[in-house]
Structure 1
Amino acid sequence: MNKTFQLYGIIFIILMLVLALLELNKTEVTDWRKNFEVNQKSPFGLFVFNKEANHLLNNELNRSDRSPYEHYKTQKENLHNILIIQSEIDFESWKKILEHVKSGSDALIIAEDFHPMIADSLHFKTSNVSLRTDNILTLTDDKFSNDSIKIDKLPAGQGFSAIDKDQEILGKALLDGGKVNFIKINVGKGHFYLHTEPLILTNYYLLKPENQKYVQDVFSYLPKRKTIWFTQSNKANTESQSPLRFILSKPPLRFAWWLFLAGLLLFVIFNAKRKQRIVPVIEPLKNKSVEFVKSIGNLYLQEGDFHEMMAKKAQYFLNRVRHELMIDTQHLDEKFVQSLHLKTGKSLEKINKAIDFIKRGQDPSASVMKEDLMQMNRLLDEILK
């Protein structure tokens, strides 16, 4: 076996052992965030309430994961109870709820904060949040005088103020100056019950037997009939939409998943390093023709042999005429002049003058000056431009 591969294997095994030890020694951290999610077992989830809600509401509870607007748009309901716990309510849904309550249904809304449209519709105001770290909630009805609940962790401290005459006070917070936290509002033929402390329904408080009676008292205000609990907002806010949510929710499966990803990453890194080779850079061949022509030209220019340069230019020009214009250059006669005139469109005067220069270049005894060479060069380039 390759020694490098053995080294990689040892490093991988050590890394996996370290990860396993860290996972085994990891202590679960309690999530104290307020999530109010029906399937969440953390202290402030609603898992226990979700299990006991059917019994609490006389086994006439229906859960809906749609908004009230969507639910009532597709389904007709007789008189019933409406339950909403710490959920956002859009304007169209609120209109549907208000419509059903006016017709004789009852609604229990338990939330830390109420949307301004609810406060405006029902004519109430909420007071500022208290700075207390604990509180004791009681009910004002004498028959519930012995039932209370102590909120000793993260109380909302919210309350109602400016209570109207047609609004009935049902509950208060004793340690917060008797702040009102539970009221009843008559609307049409039905009633709204508003409570400002949803913590009373969370796992942390419901698992204490002394608190269960208070919760039963709160729900006893609802008539014994069908209750629809709208859970859509709670579920949407907290449940992961990832396809891996089941794997990541289970510690053993989550550890196996990360282990698999780590092994896959190491395999890719080491395998790529083993197979990758440096690609050599191949320089393209350089075109030396231009450099050669410049060198020859400079040589003739330094020697001052203008006649030879004129002969080379004439030879180059005639070669282009043969190959590009397909004109016979053996005889530079009138026929040649006419053919070149027709194919280039240049004047007969320029063509005749160019032929004179070509013939001087071809005549070994002709006298040629530098100016003649320059004039010929410009004229020939202009003809075949």
Structure 2
Amino acid sequence: MKNSGKLGIMLLAITLLVIAVIDISSDKQVDWTRSYDQRDKIPFGLYFTHTELPKILGDSTQVADFSSTNYSDIKKFLSGKEQATVLYIVNEFYEGKETIAELVAFVDRGGEVFISANSFPHELLDTLGLDMEYYYPQNFGEVWDVNDRPFALSNGTEAYYKDLEYPGFFYGLNAPETKKIGYFQTNEREMPNFLEIKRKNGRFLIHLEPLMFTNYYMLKQPNFLYAAAALRLISRKQVYWFDALLQDQNATRTPLRVLLQNAGLREAWYILLFGLLLFLLFRSKREQRAVPVIEPEPNLSKEFAKTIATLYYENGNPGNLVEKKIEYFLYELRTYYLIDILTLEEDGFAKHLSAKTGVALADCAALVALIIRYKNIRSSTDAELLTVNKQIEDFKNKANML
């Protein structure tokens, strides 16, 4: 047990040492993945916006997350929430036509929907009477100067975004219920990228470029002012923010999600598991398997003899016992003294037996006569059985056979 404990401590120390070496030597590169996840603190995550949104909209604003966009679930979720705003900040808004129909019905009843995405499905654009495209330079080899392409809101707030090389824009805005509230400038033209679409009792706020709301830009003052001004167009005090990660069926749902999502913690977890595997492997080889205790077979000769005797006694046939007693005695004579018992009835047998055993000739002659008399008798009394038994036992005692 002491060796196993020492091995475990050594493996733990080695694991901690390997973790420290990996942590010190690893190149901590910045993760520029555009996750748009409310929990991510990477540059293009939404942690800052998700945390500060109540302050941006006012301290009385309440923000809650929702995840399911299943048709039946979204219908039930939106029911009775016409005084709230549903907020989407996602890479692509790819909901199905049933969900889109429920969102449109929600707006018609008085709800508000704010969507910021890089692309929208045809069903939504067609329902809202919109067309969109991406702005590309006529010469694809041309180098763009982001300082010549500001993004602006209708209230005059401006900001520049160096990562938006080919921004999206809307066109063909002829409907009176559609209002341009944001745009970017290029070649002295205003390209709409933020719209308000009123429908009956509610409205849609449709925004292109969700990158503007990520941590990287929200921590820069001009960009923060632009994004905050865009978010302040939300007019409701209850906001339901769509959580894309929970809706993703491939998202990690294990309680170890925090460990698995962090590169350093994930490596430490795997090393720890590997160390435990080595520990169990070495321990299984070092410790001897328990040997089962096998009890020896008990000696039941006495019980067996008692059982046989009881059967003979209950059978009530002493003659059979006399026969067995004589046969066993003759077997002992043949075994101990090598006497040929086939000559039992010959005249010289008693003399030969006396010479072999050292018992008086008269005793030997009397015993031989008794044996010859009862050897072939099938029926006898208890008294006769006792007589035969006594004579044989006395002879064995005199011949030292006991």
Matches within 5 A, 1:63-74: 63-67=64-68, 69=71, 70-73=73-76
Find the aligned partners of 1:15 and 1:218 in 2 and give their Cα distance. 49
Using a 3 Å threshold, how does the CA distance of structure 1 residues 56 and 16 change in structure 2: closer, same or farther?
A: closer
Residue in structure 2 matched with residue 38 of structure 1 by the alignment: 38
Is the alpha carbon distance of 1:199 and 1:269 closer, same or farther for their aligned partners in structure 2, counting shifts above 3 Å?
A: same
Residue 188 (structure 1) aligned to one of 200, 206, 209? 200
Over 3 Å counting, the alpha-carbon distance change for 1:229 and 1:13 in structure 2 is: closer
Tell me, yes or no, if the aligned pair for 1:112 and 1:196 is still in contact at 8 Å: yes
Would the alpha carbon gap of residues 20 and 91 (structure 1) be closer, same or farther in structure 2, given more than 3 Å must change?
same
CA contact (8 A) 2:15 2:272 kept: no
State the secondary structure of the residue aligned to 1:32.
Answer: coil
Post-superposition offset of 1:133 = 8.2
How has the CA–CA distance of structure 1 residues 221 and 243 changed in structure 2, closer, same or farther, with 3 Å as cutoff? Answer: closer
Aligned equivalent of 1:94 = 100
- Over 3 Å counting, the alpha-carbon distance change for 1:100 and 1:80 in structure 2 is same
Q: How does 1:193-204 map to 2 (within 5 A)?
A: 193-204=205-216
Aligned: 1:111 with 2:121? no
Change beyond 3 A, Cα 1:15–1:57: closer
After TM superposition, give the deviation of residue 11 of structure 1 in Å. Answer: 10
- CA distance in structure 1 between the aligned counterparts of 2:272 and 2:253, rounded to whole angstroms: 22
Counterpart of 2:21, as a letter, is: L
TM-superposed CA distance for 1:80, in Å, is 3.0
Match of 1:152 in 2: 162
Q: Distance in 1 between matches of 2:61 and 2:89?
A: 18
Residue aligning to 2:252: 240
Select the residue among 134, 138, 143 that pairs with 1:128: 134
More off after superposition, 250-259 vs 104-113: 250-259
Equivalent position amino acid for 2:216 in 1:
Y
TM-score (norm 1): 0.60
Q: Distance in 2 between matches of 1:221 and 1:15?
A: 53
Q: CA RMSD in A?
A: 3.7
Corresponding residue pairs, total: 271
Q: Is the 8 A contact 1:42 1:203 kept in 2?
A: yes
- CA pair 169-78 structure 1, distance change in 2 beyond 3 A: closer
CA distance 1:30–1:270, shift in 2 (3 Å):
same
Matches within 5 A, 1:1-385: 17=17, 20-58=20-58, 59-67=60-68, 69=71, 70-73=73-76, 75-86=79-90, 87-128=93-134, 130=136, 134=146, 135-139=149-153, 141=154, 144-145=155-156, 147-154=157-164, 157-166=167-176, 167-175=178-186, 178-223=190-235, 225-237=236-248, 240-249=252-261, 253-254=265-266, 256-270=268-282
Larger Rg: 2
Contact 1:23–1:255, Cα closer than 8 Å, also in 2: no
Whether the 8 Å CA contact 1:61–1:226 is kept in 2: the answer is yes
Task: Note closer, same or farther for the CA distance 1:159–1:94 as it changes in structure 2 (3 Å cut).
Answer: same
TM-fit CA distance, 1:152? 1.2
Aligned residue type for 1:179: M
CA shift for structure 1 position 103: 2.4
Conserved 8 A contact 1:36-1:44: yes
Q: Distance in 2 between matches of 1:20 and 1:235?
A: 33
Preserved contact between residue 37 and residue 235 of structure 1 (Cα < 8 Å):
no
**Maintained 8 Å contact 1:133/1:153:** no
Q: Assess, with a 3 A threshold, how the Cα gap between structure 1 residues 82 and 65 changes in structure 2: closer, same or farther.
A: closer
Residue 113 of structure 1: how far off its partner (Å): 0.5
Q: Is the 8 Å Cα contact of residues 16 and 259 (structure 1) preserved in structure 2?
A: no
TM-score by length of 2: 0.57
For residues 278-321 of structure 1, give each alpha carbon's deviation from its aligned partner in whole angstroms, at most 9, with x where no partner exists. xxxxxxxxxxxxxxxxxxxxxxxxxxxxxxxxxxxxxxxxxxxx
Matching residue of 1:303: none
Q: Which letter does structure 1 place at the counterpart of 2:47?
A: F
Post-superposition offset of 1:88:
3.9
Note the residue ranges of structure 1 that are not aligned, 5 or more in a row.
Answer: 1-5, 277-385
> How far apart are residue 37 of structure 1 and its match?
0.6
- 2:320 alignment counterpart: none
Q: Distance in 1 between matches of 2:197 and 2:150?
A: 23
Distance in 1 (CA, whole Å) between partners of 2:17 and 2:102 is 58
Quote the Cα distance in structure 1 between the aligned partners of 2:180 and 2:222. Answer: 23
Distance across 2 between alignment mates of 1:48 and 1:129: 29
Q: Which residue type is aligned with residue 24 of structure 1?
A: I
Amino acid aligned to 2:87: L
* Cα gap change, 1:115 to 1:264, in 2 (>3 Å): same
Distance 1:19 1:80 in 2: 48
Partner-residue secondary structure (3-state), 1:174: strand
How many Å apart are 1:151 and its aligned residue? 1.0
What is the alpha-carbon distance in structure 2 between the residues aligned to residue 200 and residue 154 of structure 1? Answer: 9
- How far residue 34 of structure 1 moved from its aligned partner, in angstroms, is 0.8
Deviates more, 1:14-23 or 1:166-175: 14-23
Kindly provide the amino acid, as one letter, of the partner of residue 66 in structure 1: S
Do the aligned residues in 1 keep the contact of 2:11 with 2:279 (CA within 8 Å)?
A: no
Q: Which amino acid aligns with 1:188?
A: K
